[in-house]
Amino acid sequence: MLAVVATAMMAGCATKPPVPPPKPVPSKPAPPYTWNDAAGKGTPKIVVDLGKQRAYFYRGDALVGETKCSSGKSGFATQVGNFAVLQKDMNHESNLYGSFIGESGDVVKRDVDTSKMPVPEGCSFKGAKMPFFLRFTGGYGLHAGYVPNYPASHGCVRLPRVMAQHFYENSQVGTPVIVHE
């Protein structure tokens, strides 16, 4: 009996358990934004990837900045194509989207669309602020705003404020803007 126990114990010690597979390394999410002002010396270019909700700023072939963005929500898709900066306006305000303000200065109604709602009697319209606005087609542009990590705008491309300022300061009228799916 003692021999059986000793054999069983030795067999257990001699048999190594299988090596567990390596744990998968979780992929790191892209940082909200990065900017390397020393990168590149060429002509500026802006690229917006709607599928990834990311915007990129290049000088020549060098990536200078990358940021999360928020493009047009359902029914307000951001236009896809090759454009150029048509206008720069550091303190732009929307002429369509904003709030109705009462005579006392209080907000009566937020998130209004003046193309669908008339201004109520006794109220005025205050356009939504769109700092560091870079118009690239029609009423659409890149600007600072709320960036919830999904399409949420009325067609513009919203950027975190610090990145909107970088894009604004490092581009000029004529800078190419490429928007793709």
Q: What is the pLDDT of residues 23-47, one digit of tens each?
A: 766 777 768 999 999 998 999 999 9
Q: Provide the token pair at 137.
A: 């087609």
Give CA separation, 105 vs 49, 97, 101, 102, 128, in Å: 39, 18, 6, 5, 15
pLDDT, one tens digit per residue, over 54-71 is 999 999 999 999 999 999
**CB atoms closer than 10 angstroms to residue 124:** 13
Copy the structure tokens of residue 98. 């904003």
Report how far residue 163's alpha carbon sits from residue 34's, in angstroms, rounded to the nearest whole number. Answer: 8
Place of tokens 């047009």: 72
Q: Check: pTM over 0.75? Answer yes or no.
A: yes
Separation of alpha carbons 52 and 112, rounded Å: 28
Q: Residues 89-121: pLDDT tens digits?
A: 999 999 999 999 999 999 999 999 999 999 999
Nearest alpha-carbon partner for 123 in 107, 103, 106: 103
Domain ranges in the chain are 28-180
- CATH number for the domain formed by residue range(s) 28-180: 2.40.440.10
